Structure 1
Amino acid sequence: MITIALIDDDDADAEVTASMIDRYFDGDASRYAVTRFADGDSLLRDYKASFDLMFLDVEMPGTDGVTVARRLRVVDDQTVLVFTTKMAQYAVEGYDVDAIGYLLKPLNYYAFAIKMRKAEDIVARRRSVTVPLTVGSETVFVPSADIRYVEVLDHALLYHTGEGIRKVWASLKDAAETLEPVGFVPVSRYCLVNLEWVRAVHGDDVDVDGERVRVSRSRRKSLMQALAAYHGG
């Protein structure tokens, strides 16, 4: 799940942004959570660094969005920032607070989706660890966010990734020590799945990015609990 702060004093504009977020995630509310703030001061009050991404309006009454961002960066240098503005000349001011860009109002969905993909990539990398996978004389370095699941086959491990399957000679125990802290859970004695890629649970199977993976009965309850925690339930 990606946690998003939406800071905008205009109710209609905020509603448009929220609807685009929902469209981007195909209406799947388990994949994101949005918190709306009507002004920057309410965001900064008792702020805790709990958001992956912020859509921050520039022109607001009280403290303007750029000033809010500068104050935010004193306590949080990780949140991905995207400015929204009706005046393009303000956009350049965002780069000294490490914003990934701006969106011009009224928002265009396709420009919005490009920013969302970029933000998701950044968030995923920050949540990842890098896993070195050695096959023969070659070692490749794979971000954990790109690994869908890991399974045992004939005393080897198969890493199912976005680039295909990589077979390495290693133990699942060693893989678990690296991957469990970043959102992987065991679904059997022979398989770890990345919760980020779990799309559904069907009886004794789990859908991991379109592939069916068997879940042992002893692991089903802990899997459901892990999914609920991961998605904020």
Structure 2
Amino acid sequence: MWNLLICDDENQMIVSLKDMIRRFTNETNIQFNISECHSAGELLNDFNDSIDLILLDISMGTLSGMDAAKIIRERNRDVVIIFVTSMTQYALEGYSVHAFGFLKKPIRYADIRLQLLDATMHLNSHKKEFLTIEVDNAPYRLDIAEILFLEVQDHDILIHTLSESLLVHESMNEMESRLKEHYFFRCHRSYLVNLRMVATVNGADVVLKNKTTVPLSKYKKKEFLEAFTFYLGVEN
């Protein structure tokens, strides 16, 4: 199921879009969790990384849909944005926010059907796996593929990624359970490493692709090498 957000200041347009999306679901069995907002400001307040697809009106008062799209693109590179507009002159500007497509008002079902088919195929081909954690008392979605390793820090867990380090209030046992199926291995009582990020093993250290080293317990070494070999076989 995909999370789809409709943003339009015309209630009748939102109703019409919902009807066409439900028809699309009945025909294709592609499911959507649909939410709505009625202004660009409301969109910016409501937007979060769980949203996969936005149907976005351009002309909506002081802050336009195009303005909102530019701000959203600074936060999220992956969300699919399809503009819903009668103002075709914005098509070129849409490239600056990597708009996936345009639906011209009045909208025909055949047009939205084609856009939704293309958008969901795109989402499926670029599907990421996320770990939802709590950071500063707010939910945060972390791309699992970007995690390097996790380490115990006092009674918390420090998650190291390619771009940042995040402190979460969970136990290592809990994190190991949540990440085990994603090719993570507990190489030391205080460390959990992403096998996708491993380059090699050097004595008592796991060497990651970014040259970072992580301790490898001598009691875990044989099991770690078996797990890493299995992972390489799956990938190849």
Report the AA paired with residue 97 of structure 1. V
The separation in 2 between residues aligned to 1:13 and 1:85, in whole angstroms, is 11
Q: Is 1:120 aligned with 2:120?
A: yes
Would the alpha carbon gap of residues 105 and 71 (structure 1) be closer, same or farther in structure 2, given more than 3 Å must change?
same
Aligned to 2:59: 59
Report the AA paired with residue 18 of structure 1. K
The separation in 2 between residues aligned to 1:5 and 1:26, in whole angstroms, is 19
The separation in 2 between residues aligned to 1:85 and 1:124, in whole angstroms, is 26
The separation in 1 between residues aligned to 2:33 and 2:183, in whole angstroms, is 23
**Aligned residue runs from structure 1 range 1-233, under 5 A:** 1-26=1-26, 31-45=31-45, 47-127=47-127
The separation in 2 between residues aligned to 1:179 and 1:120, in whole angstroms, is 24
Residues 2 and 33 of structure 2 are in contact (CA less than 8 Å); yes or no, is this contact kept in structure 1?
yes
Structure with greater Cα Rg: 2
Q: Deviations over 1:86-145 (max 9, x none)?
A: 12112221111011110000101111111101100111112269xxxxxxxxxxxxxxxx
Would the alpha carbon gap of residues 57 and 42 (structure 1) be closer, same or farther in structure 2, given more than 3 Å must change?
same
Would the alpha carbon gap of residues 25 and 67 (structure 1) be closer, same or farther in structure 2, given more than 3 Å must change?
same
Unaligned runs of 5+ in 1: 130-176, 182-233
Paired residue total: 134
Residues 25 and 31 of structure 2 are in contact (CA less than 8 Å); yes or no, is this contact kept in structure 1?
yes
Residues 41 and 68 of structure 1 are in contact (CA less than 8 Å); yes or no, is this contact kept in structure 2?
yes
Query: Residue 102 of structure 1 aligns to a residue in which SS?
Result: strand
Would the alpha carbon gap of residues 17 and 74 (structure 1) be closer, same or farther in structure 2, given more than 3 Å must change?
same
1:31 Cα deviation (Å)? 1.7
Query: Residue 126 of structure 2 aligns to a residue in which SS?
Result: helix
The runs of at least 4 consecutive aligned structure 1 residues that moved more than 2 Å come to: 27-30, 177-181
Residues 57 and 83 of structure 1 are in contact (CA less than 8 Å); yes or no, is this contact kept in structure 2?
yes
Identity percentage of aligned residues: 27
The separation in 2 between residues aligned to 1:119 and 1:46, in whole angstroms, is 21
1:46 Cα deviation (Å)? 5.8
The separation in 2 between residues aligned to 1:59 and 1:93, in whole angstroms, is 14
Q: Deviations over 1:10-31 (max 9, x none)?
A: 0011111111111100189982
1:61 Cα deviation (Å)? 1.3
How high is the TM-score relative to the length of structure 1? 0.53
Higher RCO (Cα < 8 Å, 6 or more apart):
1
Residues 24 and 30 of structure 2 are in contact (CA less than 8 Å); yes or no, is this contact kept in structure 1?
no
1:178 Cα deviation (Å)? 7.1
Report the AA paired with residue 91 of structure 1. A
Report the AA paired with residue 119 of structure 1. A
The separation in 1 between residues aligned to 2:183 and 2:14, in whole angstroms, is 36
How high is the TM-score relative to the length of structure 2? 0.52
